[in-house]
Amino acid sequence: MGYDVNIQRLELNAVIDLQGSMQAIKNWAKSGLPPLPDKPNSASASDGLALYWIAPERWLLRSAIENEERMLEITQPASAPIDLSVVQVSDAFRFFQIVGPDAGEIVSTACPLDHHLSVFPQNGVSYTSIFGVKGLLIRIENGFEIAVEASFADMTADYLARATG
């Protein structure tokens, strides 16, 4: 049985891990960041940058790798204040896109998180288990993106291919 999905391994993304209070982030990165998401486990985006609120006082800033220098200028990791941790983690993640009418079926195979639209909305983002390893699930238009640690990318690609039937 096959599924009506398109699964794509995405190019390397620029990712910066931000840890600190919402106020500390607002004070430090005065301009250039997308608006801070209004609730946990959600995302916001503007000007080619996405900001994920993934845990209390924990955020991920993501964009195309071409925007990495701009992201570093906005976040200034080397001179961040003591109440804020700013770490470039672009090499740590690999992203996959799963889109199509049956995208939810593939995600149900990959992870235990309830991703129904009523509980995991259009801008939803959360850490979960992806094929038994820690991963990030992101709802996008017409499907999902998942991110896993780079060392698990080949395994994840293989499992996603097998899940499609």
CATH of domain 13-90: 3.30.70.1520
This prediction's pTM? 0.94
**Which residue ranges make up each domain of the chain?**
6-10+92-163, 13-90
**pLDDT tens over the chain, length 165 residues:** 689 999 999 999 999 999 999 999 988 886 789 999 989 999 999 999 999 999 999 999 999 999 999 999 999 999 999 999 999 999 999 999 999 999 999 999 999 999 999 999 999 999 999 999 999 999 999 999 999 999 999 999 999 999 987
Shared fold status for 6-10+92-163 and 13-90? no
Q: Which residues contact residue 59 at a Cβ distance below 8 angstroms, ignoring those fewer than 6 apart?
A: 17, 18, 19, 25, 36, 51, 52, 53
Residue type, 98: I
SS3 24: helix
Report domain 6-10+92-163's class.
alpha beta
